[in-house]
Amino acid sequence: AATLGQAADGRAQPLSWERMLSGSLADLGGQYVFVVTQPRLDYGSFQPGGAATEAMQRAIAGLEFVRSGHARVHLTGDVQINDEEFATVAQGMVAGLVGSLLLVTLWLFLAVRTWRIIVPIVITLVSGLMLTTGFAALAVGTLNLISVAFAILFVGIAVDFAIQFSVRFRAQRLPDGSVPPVQSALEQTGVETGHQILVAAMATMAGFLAFTPTAFVGVAQLGLIAGFGMVIAFLCTVTLLPALLRLFRPAPTHRATGFAFARPMDRALRVRRVPVLSVFVFLAVLGAALSPMLSFDADPLHTKNPHSEGMLTLKLLMRDPQSSPYDAQVLVGNLAQAQALAARLSRLPLVDDAMWLGSLVPEDQTAKLAMIQDAASILLPTLVVPNPAPAPD
């Protein structure tokens, strides 16, 4: 009556015959209806299932019960979650790379104070990044979710080499205290800093190359690309950067680099170096003592974006034991073995429920079948008409 009244008022609502007949028992089958698809994947795209997802979203938007709000449709699964992960990485890489360059530019301004040095350093960084990308194309061919992070690593580390060279270049002075010509200052800076930057580049390269022996392809490729990227950064710093500085000719009269207000801090650190080192030794020992308390999370789902549609839908399914993806199927020889195994598994604390073929058969079948026969003998004479009237015209 309520459903018919709402329909007459123009507010049609669906009527569940299943719920009318079985009541709350209908909830035992779960609250979700599944539509399983096998999308056609385009592996030439950064999101192989992107086109299929868009097609399904258009189809979903055209469904009447979706437009009326009677049902909601969500997408999840390996393809959806992997595509969302690739999209998140792509967006994060672009934002991270742009953010890194902006922050690097800010640090450069604080360090060298003149655009005639900042611009050469930025050009050197971008050139080194492009050369490293070319090396990656030749060495590994394709990037993955982990190895693509080499770009941010390159910018963050290579800029240190350029800053070290540029700051030393700005500090060059002749014996009488005057500023030397640009050519002479560059030559002297190369003599003083070339081997220092080389040692730093080789040490960083060795650290990255230590990743390459692992069987984890993403980490191994990241170590290879980033390791040789340090060599490229060194070569760019001692060749391209001096050439650009020679071209831009920074003004020798520009004020000195550094922060004069921090000079007392330098003096205090030198005088009190023993207490300062003692504090850091204590923190290192404390960190080593606390390291056994650090646990390892082996669930790959925890590395995904928790706010994406695929992960939100997966969490909805995980809340319901009937639709949880964390299930397992065991095949045994006969029903007796299945019953015994199900009973043993159901006692495990990590198992919510164990179902076997017998779980689908109600208990006390003999008594229940007799009750059904008694009900049939009473009800059937009132339901079955011996001589039914003809159908209405």
**Residue 252: what pLDDT?**
58
Domain holding 339, by residue range, is 330-382
Co-location of 204 and 123 in the same domain: yes
Domain membership flag for residue 129: yes
Residue 230 lies in a domain: yes
Any residues with CB less than 8 A from the CB of 219 and at least 6 apart, and which? 146, 211
99 and 239 in one domain? yes
Same domain as 360, residue 232 = no
Amino acid 257: pLDDT? 61
What confidence tier does 206 reach under pLDDT thresholds 50, 70, 90? very high
Amino acid in position 248: F
CB-based contacts of 362: which residues, under 8 Å, 6+ apart?
A: 368
Query: Do 131 and 233 belong together in one domain?
Result: yes
Same domain, 97 and 182: yes
Please state the pTM of the whole predicted model.
Answer: 0.63
The last residue of one of the domains, among 261, 291, 314, is 261
- For residues 182 and 123, give the distance between their C-alpha atoms in angstroms, rounded to a whole number: 19
Residue (of 305, 322, 258) closest to 110 by Cα position: 258
Using a 10 angstrom Cβ sphere, with 0-12 exposed, 13-18 middle and 19 or more buried, the burial of residue 304 is middle
Domain count, the chain: 2
Question: Same structural domain for residues 108 and 257?
Answer: yes
pLDDT in tens, 46-68: 788 889 999 999 999 999 888 88
Q: Does residue 45 fall inside a structural domain?
A: no
Quick check: is 324 in a domain?
no
Q: How far apart are CA 75 and CA 220, in angstroms?
A: 33
pLDDT tens, position by position, 345-380? 999 998 988 989 988 888 888 898 999 999 999 888
40 inside domain:
no
In a domain, 117, yes or no: yes
Residues 6 or more apart from 7 whose CB is under 8 A from it? 13
- Contacts with 117 (C-beta within 8 Å, 6 or more apart), sequence order: 108, 166, 169, 170, 245, 248, 250
Domain boundary among 261, 293, 310: 261
* CA 253, chain centre distance (Å): 48
- Residue at which a domain ends, from 261, 281, 303: 261
CA R_g for the chain:
35
Do 253 and 342 lie in a common domain? no
231 falls within a domain: yes
